[in-house]
Every structure is written in C-alpha cells, then in structure tokens.
Amino acid sequence: MHELLRNHIDGEWSEATSRKTVDNVNPADTRQTLGQVVKGGKEEATRAIEAAARAFPGWRRTPAPKRGQILEQAARLMTERKETIARALTAEEGKTLAESRGEVQKAINFLEFAAGEGRRLNGSTVPSELPRTFTYTVRAPLGVVGIVTPWNFPVCIPTWKIAPALVAGNTVIFKPATITPWTASLVTQCFVDAGLPKGVLNLVYGGGSEIGQAIVEHPEVRAISFTGSNEVGSKLYTDASRTLKKVQCEMGGKNPLIVLEDADLELAATATVQGAFGSTGQRCTATSRAIVVASAADRFVEQVVELTKKIRVGNGAHEGVDMGPSVDEGQFQTVLRYHEIGKSEGARCLVGGNRLSDGDLRYGHFSAPTVFDQVGPNSRLAQEEIFGPVLSVIRVKDWAEAIQVANGVAYGLTSSVFTRDVTRVMEYVDEIETGMLHVNSPTVGGEAQLPFGGMKATGVGQREMGQTAVDFYSEWKTVYVDYTGTKRDTKIY
Ligand code: NAP
Ligand code: MG
C-alpha cells in the first residue's frame, strides 16, 4: 500500500490543483486498491515544463562527469531499494517477483552504464582542408525533453530514457503510464535523492490525452522519447512535428522465432515458452509467432504444449507462481477476444484459450497460457499485436518460406532463429527485418550496453540504450578554429 502519490515539480512533491485522484488497483486481485495517485492536467504539465526550462542552463553547464556521478548515486540508491521497488512493481503491474527483481536489476545496470557516459561524451577531431585550422565536434544537449512511457516495464523503460537524457545535459518532464504510478514515483525518488538540482527532473501524473498532449504541444519541449502503442505513437509523432520536435518512438511488435529442421528442439521449445509467456506475454520483445518447418513441427509443438501445461498461473507475489495476470481489464479483454478470433479463424487451440477463475483467480485478470497451431500467416492472430499469453504456431515448408513469413508483418522489433547451420545463421542476419535478433536463444532481453529498438512500424528515431542512447538526447556542434591570425586567400564557398 502506498500514500497518495504526488507530482514532483520544481523540486517539490505537490498535489494537483484539480484535487482529482485515480485508484491504483492490483491486477492479481482487483479487490485490493494499493492507494491513490493525483490526476494532473495541462496546468501541472506547463508548470513542470517551465521549471525544466529554468533549470536547463545550470544543468547544461554542470560538467558531464559530475552529472554522471549523480546517476551513479541513483544506481546505488536503486540497489538499496531494489526489493521495495520490485514488490511495488509486482503489486501494480502483476509480473512475478522474480521478473520484477530482474527488471529493477536491468534499470540498475543501465544507470551504471549511463553514469560512465558522463566521462565519454566525446566528439571527434577532424582534419581541416585549411592550414592552421582546428576542426572538431562537441555534443550539445537539446533542452527540455519529454519522456512518455508504458506500463509494461515501468521501472526500466523510464530509467533507460531519463538517465541518458540527464547525462547529456537535458532537463526532463516525465509522464508515466497512468496504471503504474507507484514505480514511477519510486524511480523518480532515486534520481531526486541522488542529488539532482530542482527542476531538472519533473514527474507529472495524468491522462495521456492531457499531460501527453501538453508535452507534445509545448514549444519549449525540444524532444520526446515515447514507448507505447502504435496508435498513440504515430499520432504523437505527427503532432510533435508541428513544433519541429525531435521524436523517438518505440512501439509494437509481433516477434517471430524460427525453428529449422536441424534445431535442438528442446532448446527451441524452452525458449519459445519463456518468450511467449514470460511477463504474461506483455513484453514488447515477447515471442508471439513460432515459425516451424513442417518436418520438425509435430515434435516441436508437442514439447511446447507439454511445457506450457506446467506453467503455474497466479498472483505474482506468491511463491511458485510462473505467470501473473494481464495488467488491466482492457488488456485482459483483448486477450480473451483474440482467443475467439483464433478459434473463428480456424486455428487449432492446443492448450489454454480460456479465462482462469478458480478460487481467488476470479478476482484477477487471469487467462491460461495459450498455444494455437496451424495459424495462417496472414490471419489476424498472426498479424496483430496481442500483448498477452498467446502463441501462434505457423508451419512452413522450408527456410525461404520461414524468412518470408517472419518478415511478413508490419512490425520489426526482435526475432530468433534455432539452427546449427552457420550459413543459415548468416543468411538470417542478412535477411531478417528486425532491429534485434537472437541465435539459439529467446527473442526477449536487452543488455544496457547494446542498442535497443526496432525497424518498420515498430520504431522511428534513434536507438535507445548502449552508446547510441545519447545520440537522441544531444546534437552536434561543429567547430572551426582559425589560428592563422591572417586574412585567408582561400576562397570560401
Ligand atoms: P499506450 O497506450 O500507447 O501508452 C503509452 C504512454 O502514452 C502512456 O503513458 C499513455 O498515458 C501515453 N499516452 C496516451 N495517449 C497519449 C496522447 N494522446 N499523447 C501523448 N501520450 C499519450 O501504450 P501502453 O498500453 O501503455 O503500452 C503497451 C504498448 O507499448 C504495446 O504496444 C507495446 O508493444 C509497446 N511497447 C513497446 C516497446 C518497444 O521498445 N518497442 C517496449 C514496451 C512496450 P496513459 O497511461 O495515461 O494512457
Ligand atoms: Mg494503454
């Protein structure tokens, strides 16, 4: 249970003028309200943006290694608070405690990495074509940046956006998803307690169409980093272009895992089940399509079904639970709707395909891990992002068809191939249209020091994480220093 969660604007934790609040509900047991969160509007968003704009000159002039040290301290605080944050995450989002601990650790890893970037904000020296002229590049921050995040990784996604924004010298307005406010507050507290000057990081709660829209429209906001749905992201991208903002959107996925005839089928089946049902399928990197060559399909499917049946579904806070609930009623209804869509499209439901309501499960948004076989590659089940524990198995005749089906969707976030054939592996790297790809391992995961992001409808803008993270949050100044002290006889074009 938490106290009333408040905005953090200009160094103060404050309530919204509207006095409206929203309940934070536990998706594993909707009888339990965890607490309330304030509901801000345009007024709070504007105050936060103005505070961030005032804080910008001081923060920009703070040496980058010093900015990095504050992130290092935030990493220490998050490490100390890891268990508290993980428990809050499980309570409001529903993932299991083991998954929550993993997510917090991922945020800590990224903070450690980003802290070091304070000492590596390098530009380059470049030879000039003119005599006695020194030419080089330096990174400059953008100004106020808006960060708009989803509920599915409410600790690590905000962290991997806020940390590079800050280390590069920007100030921030952070608008988290409405249904995961507690973790947003705990993450913000780690940064604030680490010693950020007031106004450098501002947290504002409220609906996407109010706070999000205010960020999109405000001329002082120079860039927006967004992770969420295609529907919201594409509108945000269009609207933000009116004030010429830089925009980065990470959106949906429909990630394939390809299994070839020579694959280690046990390994492939285990990876498929982990990727499809880990975090209740609510990962942007979840495996949602298993594309299997016909000769291996029966044996592969049999193992997938066997492993799926062993998954224990329940409240993620309880010992021994492997999979938690859908995050809210809307997401839950989407999952149940896709069960019906799959059945009506003629796919064979081998396991699951129903709601779970035995005992206390009836108070939560629980559905059975579901495997559909014989799914048509162009069916809705195979094309649309479900964001729940539903796996589609698509049978193909050979490698060429496997790649064609894998690429035959709008999205392109991540993928996997299972084979022992090095030629196929290299062809796969050449041909697959995903921003991240895995060989003989699940589609999920992403390490702090490596770029993260997708192709096609999944993403626009520069990659997050890794050394590429600061590219989005900075721009280049190109410097020409003439030390001849004389008039040039060279023509300047
Ligand atoms: P969402 O509904 O698009 O919401 C994302 C964020 O945008 C929330 O903070 C939301 O606020 C806000 N928002 C809503 N309307 C807005 C508007 N008009 N202007 C500005 N902001 C607005 O997404 P979600 O349901 O939270 O998250 C699930 C989606 O995220 C899935 O599609 C998933 O694939 C995607 N995702 C992608 C990645 C990736 O890296 N590619 C990673 C994780 C998740 P409210 O909460 O107040 O509505
Ligand atoms: Mg939503």
129 with 212, same domain?
Answer: yes
| Closest atom of ligand 1 relative to the 464 alpha carbon | 40
171 with 299, same domain?
Answer: no
> 66 alpha carbon to ligand 2 midpoint, in Å?
36
Burial 80-97 (b: 16+ CB within 10 A, else e): ebbeebbbbbbbbbbbbb
Q: Which ligand is nearest to the CA of 231?
A: 1
> 324 alpha carbon to ligand 1 midpoint, in Å?
20
Question: In 230-293, where does DSSP find H-type helix?
Answer: 230-241, 265-277
What's the CATH number where 336 sits? Answer: 3.40.309.10
Q: What range does the domain containing 39 cover?
A: 4-251+458-478
462 with 339, same domain?
Answer: no
239 with 296, same domain?
Answer: no
156 lines ligand 1 (CB under 6 A): no
Domain-embedded: residue 452: no
366 with 308, same domain?
Answer: yes
**Strands ordered across the beta sheet of 12-14:** 12-14, 7-9, 201-203, 171-175, 144-148, 221-227, 246-250, 459-460
**Rg (alpha carbons) of the chain, rounded to whole number:** 24
Domain-embedded: residue 403: yes
Q: How far apart are the first and last CA of the chain?
A: 67
387 lines ligand 1 (CB under 6 A): yes
Number of continuous H segments (helices) and E segments (strands) in the chain: 15, 22
- Tens digit of each residue's pLDDT (9 = 90 or more) over 243-269: 999 999 999 999 999 999 999 999 999
pLDDT in tens, the chain (493 residues): 999 999 999 999 998 888 899 999 999 999 999 999 999 999 999 999 999 999 999 999 999 999 999 999 999 999 999 999 999 999 999 999 999 999 999 999 999 999 999 999 999 999 999 999 999 999 999 999 999 999 999 999 999 999 999 999 999 999 999 999 999 999 999 999 999 999 999 999 999 999 999 999 999 999 999 999 999 999 999 999 999 999 999 999 999 999 999 999 999 999 999 999 999 999 999 999 999 999 999 999 999 999 999 999 999 999 999 999 999 999 999 999 999 999 999 999 999 999 999 999 999 999 999 999 999 999 999 999 999 999 999 999 999 999 999 999 999 999 999 999 999 999 999 999 999 999 999 999 899 999 999 999 999 999 999 999 999 999 999 999 999 998 876 665 5
Antiparallel, parallel or unpaired: β 411-412 and 455-456: antiparallel
Q: Evaluate whether 110 touches 198 at the Cβ level (below 8 Å).
A: no
286 lines ligand 1 (CB under 6 A): no
Domain-embedded: residue 394: yes
The token duo for 24 is: 């934070």
Q: Which ligand is nearest to the CA of 457?
A: 1
Angle between helices 82-93 and 181-193 (to 10 degrees): 160
Q: Evaluate whether 171 touches 201 at the Cβ level (below 8 Å).
A: yes
pLDDT of residue 487: 80
388 lines ligand 1 (CB under 6 A): no
How many domains are there within the chain?
2
What's the CATH number where 143 sits? Answer: 3.40.605.10
Kindly report the protein residue whose alpha carbon is nearest to atom 37 of ligand 1.
Answer: 251
Domain-embedded: residue 486: no
Domain-embedded: residue 446: no
- The C-alpha torsion from 308 through 313 and 318 to 319, rounded to 10°, is -20
> 449 alpha carbon to ligand 2 midpoint, in Å?
28
Domain-embedded: residue 168: yes
290 with 233, same domain?
Answer: no
244 with 366, same domain?
Answer: no
> 439 alpha carbon to ligand 2 midpoint, in Å?
32
Q: Which ligand is nearest to the CA of 232?
A: 1
Domain-embedded: residue 226: yes
220 with 262, same domain?
Answer: no
36 with 103, same domain?
Answer: yes
Kindly report the protein residue whose alpha carbon is nearest to atom 46 of ligand 1.
Answer: 177
Dist CA 174 CA 200 (whole Å): 11
Kindly report the protein residue whose alpha carbon is nearest to atom 32 of ligand 1.
Answer: 229
208 with 116, same domain?
Answer: yes
Domain-embedded: residue 483: no
85 with 210, same domain?
Answer: yes
Which residues are the active-site residues?
250, 284
Q: Which ligand is nearest to the CA of 252?
A: 1
Sign of CA dihedral 230, 232, 234, 236: negative
40 with 97, same domain?
Answer: yes
Question: In 368-488, where does DSSP find H-type helix?
Answer: 380-383, 399-407, 422-431, 469-472
Distances (CA, A) of 442 to 157, 265, 340, 448: 20, 13, 27, 17
Whole-model pTM over 0.95: yes
Kindly report the protein residue whose alpha carbon is nearest to atom 28 of ligand 1.
Answer: 228
Antiparallel, parallel or unpaired: β 221-227 and 144-148: parallel
- Tens digit of each residue's pLDDT (9 = 90 or more) over 124-175: 999 999 999 999 999 999 999 999 999 999 999 999 999 999 999 999 999 9
Cα 434 off chain centre by = 15
212 lines ligand 1 (CB under 6 A): yes
41 lines ligand 1 (CB under 6 A): no
> 469 alpha carbon to ligand 1 midpoint, in Å?
20
